[in-house]
Structure 1
Amino acid sequence: MSAAPISASEHTVAEAAEAAVTAAPTPELARKAAAADAEVGSTNSSEDSGSPDYVRVKLTSLGFVSVFIGLALSIFLAALDQTIVSTAIPAIAKEFQSLDKIAWIGTAFLLTSTAFSPLYGKFADIFGRKPTFMGAIAIFEIGSLICGVANSMELLIFGRAFAGVGAAGLFSTALIIISDIVSFRDRGKYQGMLGGVFGLASVVGPLLGGTFTDSLSWRWCFYINLPLGAVTLVVVFFLLRIPHESDSIMSKLKRIDYLGTFFVFAATICLLIPLEFGGKDWAWSDWRTIIMIIAAIVLYVIFAVVEVKFAVEPVIPPSMFENRSVYALLAIPLLLGGAFIGLIYFLPTYFQIVNGYTATNAGLALIPFLVGVVIMSITTGQLISRTGFLTPFFYIGSTLLTVGAGLLSTLTQDSARGQQIGYMIIAGCGIGFMLQTRILSIQASVTQANIASATASSNFFQTLGGALGIAIVGTIFNNVLASELGPQLSAFVSRNPTGVGSLPDALRNKALDGFSKAFDTSYKAVIPMSGLIFVIALFLKQSRTPRQQQSNEPAMVVAE
């Protein structure tokens, strides 16, 4: 991509326009907006913001390539941190002698990264894309450093929670920045490449974590983030020039919706804790589980009331829902996250227990699934950019995912490796068709002023869907397994799942049949999730990417 640098006058105009669309709608801001629009029209009439070729922020070719590499590194960092620690957990538990707290290594990261996801969209509007992105990287780096030097399990868990706050911003803000520096026509292919980077990091993570743990130390699973994050910070600081408001820090802090932020954070934490521990440490009928879920529902209702009635600059602006398709386009990532994580979370367990693979080989066995995700994510981005179509990819992706989940549910201990590979590729391709489509669709359905909030909200719902998917699939799996194995064999497997191979032939076959039945039933739970995506997509009407007539109109996907 080649473009001229922003001139001083264009920079000033962009700042005024940004202030007009992101701040409270006062008469003074309306005057600034009108003046900015007039000046943009006179100085840059060939590139109106309604055109698919419009680019809000211009960069030189070298600057664009450098910034894109920086954004890709940030996505790689955040995705890597989610998976790299999985193969290091046994070594961490051994060093700190805290097996009972080991689940919190993942839980702490999940809680903060999910809860903070919807907040970064508004932070990007208030403080500017660049400061918000750099702040997220800095928080992530500090959290990684704390994890690397931790001398106790408690400090490690704190570091993971701290890093999760930054990781939430890395995903959302990177996609928001792409929407500023790339025209809508080309956005698909670049977001598709970022999706490919995410998939690549997911594949590399467990392998890299195992290598570090065996050859150096588990601490390098966190130290590796420091040089990569430093490179990203330098590139973004020197090369990314995005217009921002020149208001004082105090005036920006006053614009934050503190009440809405508190309620969405509290509600998400109350929902995620029982989803994480329900069916394992807590029974689903446990009073703690029930109370926290009820509290989450009440807090989300209060959050909605605050956003609609009281907030001046809401975390999730009600104006974002003027296009009814936004409801559907937030339901889709919720279901997609549940299907994606629900499948990938238990596949390694299948390979380890039913096929007798080691942890490393189980990670390698997942490569066909993730290759399908990566290749189709990149390919779909290219196709969207070339054709302008969006909704057909939901139909294709949900169909493939439904078929893939159904086929995976038929796997047994006697299934051939070719079957496993083929089924995983089909499911992976289905997910890849939809990963970037869901972001591009929601960005096309809101005004320019709401793109940041819409992008962050989509990421929030996909992450939340992942937590729901694990809870649903895990509960079904555990219930079916307990029913198939009986109390004594179930208790043995619970204490030593990888010891199934050491059982006498009759008990081993019973255990393996029980696991196969549990995987079969739990994977079938993914079928209605992906099927619902197809049904929801039917309510979206969009033929091809049109040219907007005005810059303040949503672009494409409209509910019927």
Structure 2
Amino acid sequence: MSSHDGSSVTLAEDAPKPPAPTRKDSLKNDLLNDTKGLSTAPVQPLSVTDPVEGKSDVAVEEAIDTERQNTLPPKGYVAVPLSKFGFVLVFIALALAIFLAALDQTIVGVALPRIGEDFGDFAQVPWIGTAYLLTATPIAPLYGKMADIFGRKACFMFAIAVFEIGSAICGAAPNMVALIIGRAIAGIGGGGLFSLVLIIISDIVSFEDRGKFQGIIGAVFGLASVAGPLLGGAFTDSHLTWRWCFYINLPIGIFTIVVVFFALRFPQPTGSISQKLARVDYLGTIVLIAAVIALLLPLQLGGSDWAWNSPQVVVLFIVAILLLLLFAWIEMKVAVEPVIPPALFENRSVPLICAIAFCLGAGFFSVVYYITFYFQIVYGDSPMKAGLESLPLMFGVVIFSIICGQIISRTGYYTPLFFTGGALLTTGVALISTLSESSNRGMQIGYLLIAGVGVGNLIQTRVIGAQASVSPKNIATVTSTVNFFQTFGGVIGIAIVGTIFNNAAADNLREALAQLPAGSPPLPFDPATAPSAVTSLPEPVRSLVIHAFTQALSLAYKCALPFTALILVLAVGVKQYRRQGGPPAAVVAE
């Protein structure tokens, strides 16, 4: 908590001795300390839209919490004012950074078979994705605190530069080992881009307008997710080859680096390099990275390289749990400046929104990851065409991310969107789980669109709600923490849904093939690894195989429903803060 400034309050001579400070007093002192050196323009009254009648401690604390989030960020986090043209240029550069980070998550998957073929090493192909995930996921929550210590701009430049270096190594890789190393390096930078862009936007845009601009960022994320498989397929099948799946990052990234370097200026954070380095929570950082890696390895390799009940998987899960408990103890009892400050979770809205982000990641990425498999196995689509078939999902994300951003900016309300988003996403996933080989195009488009609209309601709301629930000094850490939970939810969701799908598909296929006459030849290929070739099988084998896999997909999606439905339950406890005026936090000069 912030220290007192040494000033005293004059009391009447006959006044009784003041009582010991309460948590309300501490919050008030924090508010005063957080806003020193900022604009002294009068702040209009703010209110919690879910007020508590009377003057109870809860009501006062809620009012104080609301007031805190409406102040400008602490000095050193506020960018030098931009012209309107400069703001547009910087925003485009930041949006392109999000585009690159999102594109990189989807563009490579289409190229994996060709990469394995070119290098003659199919056994190591899964590590292309795993290497990126093992570095990007654990480092993501660290960028928030690093942005507070070393500055937003410095951290952003570091992240995108490392991402570019990793992409260049991947594009020029002479062998599979070099490519995997390049992916790991790219993950170190890519893991911070999502959070840093949202953090910088919160510094250069007023609270009222934040929803509008973060809605656009959500739309860019959706567009990139669609463009990834399309561009990946186009590059892989052309003379440019799969290497341009990585080279495409270079010109876009260089443009972003140049614009941010010259156009975006933040005051230098106070303190020398040695003082800044001394503020880093090294012990917590190391333990968190080790814990997340220990958890990710069995989730990525379990069920394929390792059996789920193998000693490797069991030991790593136990180690991960112990390390996470150790990390929590370090953050609460040891760290002076924790990577994830425990104080973030004093307001119940923050842990609830983190849980919502986790469930969103688990539900959304499970749909994205496996819906293309449906189109490949039912229609024999190529990966690129299957990506086109899933456009309604991303169309809903893009359009409604922008619409909901506008709603938040115009009304100040974000909690209703947690309910509409959770309801629509749950409905969409439930309907998608009913898709079969006999479903028509209208059903496929409609169900995907409903799920996409649900995600569009949630994708930017989670960040805005979390930022509104903390003081300005904690915006960076809460943003990176929420993004980490969404990413990690995606990992968990895909692992659970994938395991259920693989087991169900194997069982269904075995039962289906048992219906064939004795002496029937075995399948010439594994449908799980070559789904597009299933339609080339003769009848009745083709129908049996397609039905076996669509039933497995249906079961897998049903198992994703608890995650999406839980969003509705969690949203009940999220507090609504509404701004009713006051000085804007925007740094855009007229």
List aligned pairs for 1:332-411, cutoff 5 A. Answer: 332-411=356-435
Say which is worse superposed, 278-287 or 220-229, in terms of deviation. Answer: 278-287
Q: RMSD over aligned Cα, in angstroms?
A: 2.5
1:166 paired with 2:189, answer yes
Report the alpha carbon displacement of residue 271 of structure 1 after superposing the two structures with TM: 0.7
- For 1:214, the equivalent position in structure 2 comes to 237
Unaligned runs of 5+ residues in structure 2 are 7-25, 46-66, 514-521, 586-590
1:506 paired with 2:540, answer yes
- For 1:554, the equivalent position in structure 2 comes to none
Q: Which of 91, 106, 117 in structure 2 is aligned with 1:68?
A: 91
List aligned pairs for 1:464-479, cutoff 5 A. Answer: 464-479=488-503
**2:449 & 2:562 partners in 1: Cα distance?**
19
- For 1:16, the equivalent position in structure 2 comes to none
Report if aligned partners of 1:380, 1:432 keep a CA contact under 8 Å in 2.
Answer: yes
Q: Percent identity?
A: 52
Q: Which of 454, 457, 460 in structure 1 is aligned with 2:484?
A: 460
- For 1:524, the equivalent position in structure 2 comes to 558
- For 2:588, the equivalent position in structure 1 comes to none
Q: Which amino acid aligns with 1:261?
A: T
Report the alpha carbon displacement of residue 59 of structure 1 after superposing the two structures with TM: 2.1
Say which is worse superposed, 47-56 or 123-132, in terms of deviation. Answer: 47-56
Report the alpha carbon displacement of residue 276 of structure 1 after superposing the two structures with TM: 1.0
1:319 paired with 2:343, answer yes
Q: Which of 129, 134, 145 in structure 2 is aligned with 1:111?
A: 134
Report the alpha carbon displacement of residue 33 of structure 1 after superposing the two structures with TM: 10
Report the alpha carbon displacement of residue 39 of structure 1 after superposing the two structures with TM: 4.6
**2:379 & 2:468 partners in 1: Cα distance?**
45
Secondary structure at 1:159 match in 2:
helix
Report if aligned partners of 2:469, 2:577 keep a CA contact under 8 Å in 1.
Answer: no
Report if aligned partners of 2:170, 2:243 keep a CA contact under 8 Å in 1.
Answer: yes
Q: Which amino acid aligns with 2:38?
A: V
Say which is worse superposed, 163-172 or 488-497, in terms of deviation. Answer: 488-497
Q: Which amino acid aligns with 2:441?
A: R
Please say which structure displays the higher CA radius of gyration.
Answer: 2
**1:97 & 1:172 partners in 2: Cα distance?**
37
Q: Which amino acid aligns with 1:452?
A: A
CA displacement 1:139-160 (0-9 Å, x = unmatched): 1111111111111100100000
Report the alpha carbon displacement of residue 131 of structure 1 after superposing the two structures with TM: 0.4
TM-score, structure 1 as length reference: 0.89
1:262 paired with 2:286, answer yes
1:244 paired with 2:268, answer yes
CA displacement 1:537-556 (0-9 Å, x = unmatched): 0112327445689x9xxxxx
1:542 paired with 2:570, answer no
Report the alpha carbon displacement of residue 280 of structure 1 after superposing the two structures with TM: 2.1
**2:422 & 2:69 partners in 1: Cα distance?**
30
- For 1:205, the equivalent position in structure 2 comes to 228
**2:209 & 2:573 partners in 1: Cα distance?**
26
Say which is worse superposed, 119-128 or 540-549, in terms of deviation. Answer: 540-549
- For 2:310, the equivalent position in structure 1 comes to 286
When residues 41 and 505 of structure 1 are mapped into structure 2, their CA distance, relative to the original with a 3 A threshold, is: closer
Secondary structure at 1:541 match in 2:
coil
Report the alpha carbon displacement of residue 361 of structure 1 after superposing the two structures with TM: 0.8
List aligned pairs for 1:62-211, cutoff 5 A. Answer: 62-211=85-234
Q: Which amino acid aligns with 1:524?
A: K
- For 2:63, the equivalent position in structure 1 comes to none
**1:379 & 1:174 partners in 2: Cα distance?**
20
Q: Which structure ranks higher in relative contact order (CA pairs < 8 Å, sequence separation ≥ 6)? A: 2
Report the alpha carbon displacement of residue 511 of structure 1 after superposing the two structures with TM: 1.1
Unaligned runs of 5+ residues in structure 1 are 1-20, 552-560
Q: Which amino acid aligns with 1:222?
A: F
Q: Which amino acid aligns with 2:411?
A: T
1:486 paired with 2:510, answer yes
Which segments of structure 1 move beyond 6 Å, counting only runs of 4 or more?
Answer: 30-36, 46-49, 487-491
Report the alpha carbon displacement of residue 126 of structure 1 after superposing the two structures with TM: 0.3
**2:283 & 2:580 partners in 1: Cα distance?**
38
Report the alpha carbon displacement of residue 51 of structure 1 after superposing the two structures with TM: 8.0
Q: Quick check: which one's helix share is greater? A: 1
- For 2:451, the equivalent position in structure 1 comes to 427
CA displacement 1:387-418 (0-9 Å, x = unmatched): 11111101101111111111111111111111
Say which is worse superposed, 54-63 or 210-219, in terms of deviation. Answer: 54-63
Report if aligned partners of 1:121, 1:455 keep a CA contact under 8 Å in 2.
Answer: yes
Report if aligned partners of 2:69, 2:471 keep a CA contact under 8 Å in 1.
Answer: no
